[in-house]
Structure 1
Amino acid sequence: MGALAEFSDDGGTLRFTGDLLLARLGDLPGRLEHYAGNVSTIDLSGIDRMDTIGAWVIHRLAKEKRAEVTGVSDAHRHLLEQVGKADQPVSTRPVHVSPINRVLGEVGDAVMMTGRTLLGLLGFLGATVIAFGSVIRHPRRFRFNATVQRFEVVGVSALGIIGLMSFLIGIVIAQQGAVQLRQFGAEVFTINLIGRITLRELGVLMTAIMVAGRSGSAFAAQLGTMKLTEEVDAMRTIGVSPMEALVLPRTIAAIVLMPLLGFYASLIAIIGGGLLCWWQLEIPPVTYIARLREVVPITDLYVGLIKAPVFGAVIAVAGCFQGMQVEGDAEQVGTRTTAAVVQAIFLVIVIDAFFAVFFERIGWI
């Protein structure tokens, strides 16, 4: 039966009967909380069963009324003692950390996170190479349709935005170069600036940044969603390698299409710069093209085409790696997608700097 509390006149004793269980308490804790009478003794001799919640009610009442608890069985006494031991004030001391230590700690955490991410990327790159070798040994496992679909997503669908961006960049380079070179009466060298910087650097670099923001983020979001819906685990269960089915087509598409997109972006940038030279500097298109052929060495084209597939591999590996790291909840998808874009752009710029030094050392300047 439910717990009952009866007050007797013999010395302020409050007697409890029944079961002090969570399911049987009802409104008893509320009535005891608003009870204004004096209680000197709490009699539990009529209690049959008591759980932790019931013991807490008795303990709190005895503590508030400063009453003595009597009629307690051995089992109930042990439970009351444990509840009393747990009811201890917790004192916390504020931790004062100096700004220098806090900054150093954050820097250390960032360095450790960067190191772990770099090791993870290297391991994931190794797994991608192993999957590529496995597909070469077993060509029938190559997913041609999935790769062609990635070609469309990474390349064909990106032609419009990359073309517009490159055209505007070519105009900006030509305009700024002409303004600066006009001070020295050397506006004609604007053609040198446009041709060399677009073919050698900006064409492929801006394309890589655009692909990282567009396709790299899509790779991370797609694979992250598949991880949350357990599609990746289901593929492993039926014997399909996620590296071969999901990662490899995206990586191949990025590696193959980046040189094409980079060359396309360079051409569009040169066209944009040529139009501005024709309009502002009054350099005819025939003269513009002839001058480009004279001042732009073929090695500039080779430099851009060599860097492009490396950038494509970095973007695809970073996007797929972050997507495969998604765990727990949907918030991870957004976090990993952002990390994929940031890491891909950072690595592309770092690798571009290494390429600049390397090509300068071998004489391709």
Structure 2
Amino acid sequence: MHRGPDMCAFDLAGRPVSWTRHGVIHRRGLDGTVLELVRKPGREAWEQGVRRLTPEELAACLGHVRSFLKEGWRLLGKPEPLRRAVELDPNQDAARFRSIWSPVMILPPDQYRSLVLQLTEGCSYNLCSFCTFYKKRPYRVLSQEEFTRHVEEALAFMGAGLAWRRGVFLADANAASLPDSHLLAALSWLHRRLEAPRPTDSFFQPEHLAGFSSFLDTFSTLRRSLQCWRELAERGLNSLHLGIETGSDRVLRVLRKPGSAAQAEELVGLLKAAGIRVGVIVMTGVGGPSLAEEHVEKTADLLNRLPLDAGDRISLSEFEPDPGSPYVLEEMAELLDRRACREQSRALRSRLRFPAHPQGPVVSHYDVRQFVY
């Protein structure tokens, strides 16, 4: 819905998803978080700003959105989807979301519209020097009873909003590294549950939630056979997202991330042979200036060796150092500014030898600052 330069988008449950006001873009998460994306004409992406609204700003912004929706509802003849938006209490809705989900810290850039279901909580490794997403959240695997309850509550919460979702993302950080039998059983049960009859909704189609995705590290499933990967694919696991980060083993050591470039290459080969799409995430700016050339050169070499094609994705994530991370606190490497990170991203892009999409993989910028679920 729009009026002049102002626009508001919401799902069919009436939840505001994004809006613009006076040329400023806002994105709202299901947990109530609202990000403001500041776009400055003539500036590059690394110069753009992203900030979280304060509670006072949030209240004022949602008040504007509510007034905007009420006016549109009246002018358009009071259609049903807009009635839901007008009647929704966003604060109560966000509180309900937080009672069902643990905080959704991060998703791959092509999974922002997925239905997130938390098969695990936290990260099974949780020792990387650069990452603080799960430092205060102990890792645990939900029991079948807990996961069943979580799924039922999640589906009930989404309601008509499921029509806006695409696919299912199994969270948290590394759910695909669960033991083979556990993961196979979870996928089988979930596939059956999502195909079960539901109340008629003219907008929702079962294929909206077809296919499961997840994060996967590059070191904990090296013993999983090709046959097992094929069984997982047959049960709906159609894409996995790997934080490879770098092709330099020396930079991996700085990041305190196990594994190696060779292991990452082997894993991607297995996944592709099993018919699973791969999302590769690499970071630019890690390792500091002393390892910058090696990082770019070896990362480009690794990426070019991977058997990626039109169904895959390479995401270039410019390093956002967390002041509370070991990487910063222990001064593990000199920090590069956003301009230097962007220059590394350009250098990597220029060295890739894949055909342009749609023949080759998508190569995209991945700004983690803009994530909100």
TM-score of the superposition, structure 2-length normalised?
Answer: 0.20
Bigger relative CO (Cα 8 Å, ≥ 6 apart): 1
Q: Point out the structure with the larger strand share.
A: 2
Q: Point out the structure with the larger helix share.
A: 1
TM-score of the superposition, structure 1-length normalised?
Answer: 0.20
